[in-house]
Structure 1
Amino acid sequence: MTMAPTATPAPEELVTVIITTSPTPSAPSTELLEQIAASFRKHCQALVRCRVIVVLDTYDHVSTKPRLKKGHVTPDGASKYADYKANAKRLILKEYSPTGRPYGHGDLARTQEKAEFGSGAAAYASQDNTVVMNITTTKDGRVKFVEPVQRLGFGLAVRSALRMTVTPYVWIQQHDWALVTDIPLGPMLQIMHENRTPATKGEEEEKAAGSYQATRPPVEYICFASIRMMEYATSDHVMHFPALRGITQLHKQNFTVQSMIEGGGIVTSRIPLTPFFHWHDKPHLASTSHYLDQVFYSRIAIQRGAFIEDTVGHVARDEMKEGNWKKWASWLYYPGEGKHLCLRHLKGRTWRGVEAELAAKLEYMRLNGLDVNVQIPN
């Protein structure tokens, strides 16, 4: 499928990066976020020129044993998290400053908003099913920090940020996934723009006639492959299900787009995509409006503390197994026929930072009678 060359806005004017972070063993260090920023600069520089919303989620309970996915932290983890949030803000204000000069305190404005969850029925009138969020925004509107006073969880963190987004697309970024391959963000955005889910009356008529999506399947969500998603199109996630096999055979393709560059030249890009039969939380590019309409269709779609892929993601996959994939319009970037890794997991729930990891290795060597002066492999 080849599209005519068009002059489109720069990717950084079309995308908001939404970063979600929460307590980690490496706090108060920002090494996880630093690795993500470094991977952006190396593999997709536009992502550090975009608007950014950082949701600094909190914890639910202080306990003797950390269970970070459940919102449980130790007293030490709780005490370090306030410093981590301050450090994370400083890092982002530096990385995302368009002038090269970090934003200062005079550049910031503060407001409050609420995130609702659960049922709004009269039966629950005695419960205030909302979470107050403290919002800090740079005066140019390009950087925003969201700090809930109660834990939101990944799902509500994303929804809250989406509602504050003013761009048509978002890049969702968890705090412990780094890019390991170049991402052709501009061509991907052009593909998504040219292959939107029908919205206008004319497009709906084409859809009803069977001509619109028959040749132009919508592209509203693009995920990126981690190690467990290699060769996805021929994996058991697809091949064991007739409907998913058929959709893959019909729609897996190289999208060819032509774009105009400064000076009037034309660049041709071929972007390999395969249908993806889930809605994952790991880094992805998506349409803002589609996300809000499809995933967050009501206040009860995602409960407080829940993850999207563990809830709505399974609903989506079940519908796709019945052949209803175009409703979700989810794809996987598929370079090298799925043999090309795109993401590396930084293991934020267990990684303790460079210094702590080194100290643990040295202690292990000491306890096992090994020479602590030898070079330690990573």
Structure 2
Amino acid sequence: MGRKRGGNAESKLCWHCGGRGHDQSQCTAILSGDARHCFLCRSLDHMSTECPLRSNEPKQKDPPWVKELRQVGQVENASSRLSVVITTSPVPSHPATMMLEAVIASFQRVKGLAQCPLIIVCDGFKVFKKTTWKAGKVTDEKAANYEEYKSNLKKLQDDGRLPAGSKLVILEGHNGQAMAVKAGLKEVDTPLVCIHQHDLEFTFDFGLDTVLDLLEDGSPVKYVGMPLLVNLHYEGIAFQHHGVRVKPELHEGLSLMPIIFWYDSTHITSVRHYESLVFGPDESYAPGNFVEETFGVRQRNDIMANGMSAHPKYGTYHYISHSVDGSRRPLIMHLNGVRFLTPEQRLALGFPPDPPVEFYPSRTMTSRRQRKALRIGSARVGSSGVALAFGRA
């Protein structure tokens, strides 16, 4: 027998006056215009927004939600101009710290970068039945691995295996990349900052001091990004996908490419530029947001609509680095955190051992034709599986 719509009249409860036998659509207080009722204390003298009881309720803090700030020792011979903020979050290789240690070790390839104060921001997570790494959703098992990873980072601090004076900013709950960067900026004491991710390696020296001089001298350059392999020839991306023409420019002897998008990938800018523009009064972010997927899209739309005359507001450029043969080369390489595994983890899962670096095309080749040829050659390797090892992780 079907259930009657609306149920027993006597069971109706009015959320407005608290009376039974009618609902809010039939409430005489509302119909008469005397609609002042507080559902917190039941008073007819005020609304719930004015209730004294609300002052006793704990206020919800805005993200980022910082759980712990930890620093061991003091920075030695620290740069007074630049700090580095690395954002990290759950990935399959945790609880191992191998990937992050490799990233920090690559700082030695850039003169002066290893002497910069280091802030590592550990975002939180949400527990789900299925893991979605980018959304910060992990299973109970992956959550436990990440908690152990953060403990291992503290051990690296204590054992002096992280640069002296490095800060750990541990966030509670899933904040997202944008809020993680915002939390890291609060710990920066230098005017300039390098925003970096936990799965990007520096590959070559590029004259860091010259970049810092340029950013400090009031030039139109406000953001210097380090290109990856995928955006090495950005002028093609800008025109083919967005209809905007850009070409290399020379600034204080540096060859730079104007870009119309704020990449989250490695870049150097000023703390003031972040605070006044990216996190300025006209910008808002929800937990889980990425800067490039929100602010970056708004920047691109602005320039597509108004042309490059809108670009100076953002001042975003990519550094153009050249090999000895004159070809462009990427300054950072992607370790792909959601696929990265330690050798021990690969062995446990039955994957082949890591191949020699020459079989890893995304780290060694800049030509799409070369990479395609390598993949074809790899398929001919047959049962050894060495050339395909990274693709299976």
TM range (shorter): 0.5 to 0.7
The match for 2:335 is 346
Distance 1:358 1:47 in 2: 34
1:355 Cα deviation from its structure 2 partner: 1.5
> Could you say if the C-alpha distance between residues 159 and 40 of structure 1 is closer, same or farther in structure 2, counting changes exceeding 3 Å?
same
Instruction: Tell me by how many angstroms 1:328 deviates.
Output: 0.3
- Aligned with 2:291: secondary structure? coil
The 3 A distance-change label for structure 1 pair 236 and 20 is closer
**SS at the partner of 1:311?**
helix
How big is the shift at 1:90? 3.1
Larger Rg: 2
Whole-Å Cα distance in 1 between the matches of residues 317 and 284 of structure 2? 22
Q: Give yes or no for the alignment of 1:328 onto 2:299.
A: no
Superposed, which structure 2 residues align to 1:253-268 within 5 Å?
Answer: 253-256=249-252
- Equivalent position of 2:238 in the other structure: 237
Tell me, yes or no, if the aligned pair for 1:11 and 1:185 is still in contact at 8 Å. no
Name 1:6's counterpart in structure 2: none
Map Cα deviations across residues 299-319 of structure 1 (whole Å, 9 max, x no partner). Answer: 852211111111100001111
Aligned-pair CA distance for 1:239 = 5.5
Cα pair 1:220 1:328 within 8 Å, conserved: yes
Corresponding letter in the other structure for 2:260: F
Change (3 A) 1:343 1:97: closer
Query: What TM-score comes out, normalization by structure 2 length?
Result: 0.65
Distance 1:90-1:272 versus aligned 2 partners, 3 A rule: farther
Task: Name the amino acid aligned to 1:33.
Answer: L
Aligned-pair CA distance for 1:85: 0.4
Task: Give the structure 2 partner of residue 108 of structure 1.
Answer: none
The answer on 1:57 being equivalent to 2:53 is: no
Aligned to 1:310, what secondary structure does the other structure show? Answer: helix
Partner of 2:260: 277
- Tell me what 2:292 maps to: 309
Residue 95 (structure 1) shift = 4.4
CA contact (8 A) 1:61 1:72 kept: yes
Q: Is the 8 A contact 1:48 1:96 kept in 2?
A: no
Cα deviations across residues 236-282 of structure 1 (Å, max 9, x unaligned)? 3235656x32xx34xx32333xxxxxxxxxxxxx3211111100111
Question: Residue 302 of structure 1 contacts residue 312 of structure 1 at CA under 8 Å; is this kept in 2?
Answer: no
1:1-378 superposed matches below 5 A: 12-41=79-108, 43-63=109-129, 65-92=130-157, 94-98=160-164, 142-194=165-217, 196=218, 216=219, 218-233=220-235, 235-238=236-239, 244-245=244-245, 248-249=246-247, 252-256=248-252, 270-298=253-281, 301-321=284-304, 322-323=306-307, 324-336=310-322, 339-362=328-351, 376=386
Contact 2:346 / 2:352 at 8 angstroms: preserved in 1? no
Q: Deviations over 1:17-52 (max 9, x none)?
A: 1011111110010111111012111x2142221111
**Contact conserved, 1:56 with 1:145, CA < 8 A, in 2?**
yes
Does the CA-based 8 Å contact 1:230-1:340 persist in structure 2?
yes
Q: Structure 2: where are the runs of 5+ without partners?
A: 1-76, 354-381
Structure 2 letter corresponding to 1:328: Y
Q: For 1:61-105, what per-residue CA distance to the aligned partner results, in whole angstroms no more than 9, with x for missing partners?
A: 232x2101111112211111111002123335624545xxxxxxx
Q: Which runs of 5+ in 1 are unaligned?
A: 1-9, 99-141, 197-215, 257-269, 365-370
Cα offset, 1:223, TM superposition = 0.8
Distance change (3 Å), C-alpha of 1:363 and 1:287: closer
TM-superposition CA deviations, 1:312-348 (whole Å, max 9, x none): 0000111122230000000100123772111211111
Q: Distance in 2 between matches of 1:297 and 1:187?
A: 28
AA matched with 1:173 = H
**Superposition RMSD in Å:** 2.7
Q: 1:362 to 1:16 in 2, by over 3 A?
A: closer
* Inter-CA distance 254–60: structure 2 relative to 1 (3 Å threshold): same
SS at match of 1:331: strand
Contact 2:352 2:385 survives alignment (8 Å) = no
Contact 1:178 1:344 in 2 (8 A): yes
1:182 is displaced (CA, Å) by 1.5
Describe the SS at the equivalent of 1:13. coil
Q: How many residues align?
A: 278
CA distance, structure 2, for counterparts of residue 33 and residue 349 of structure 1:
13
Distance of 2:120 and 2:141 partners within structure 1: 23
Hey, what's the Cα distance between the residues in 2 that align with 1:67 and 1:303?
Answer: 18
* TM-score (norm: length of structure 1): 0.67
Which letter maps to 1:14? R
What residue is the counterpart of 2:31 in the other structure?
none
- Which string of whole-angstrom CA distances, capped at 9 and with x for unpartnered residues, describes residues 146-200 of structure 1? 1122121110010111122211000111111111222311000001111x2xxxx
CA distance in 2, matches of 1:29, 1:279: 31
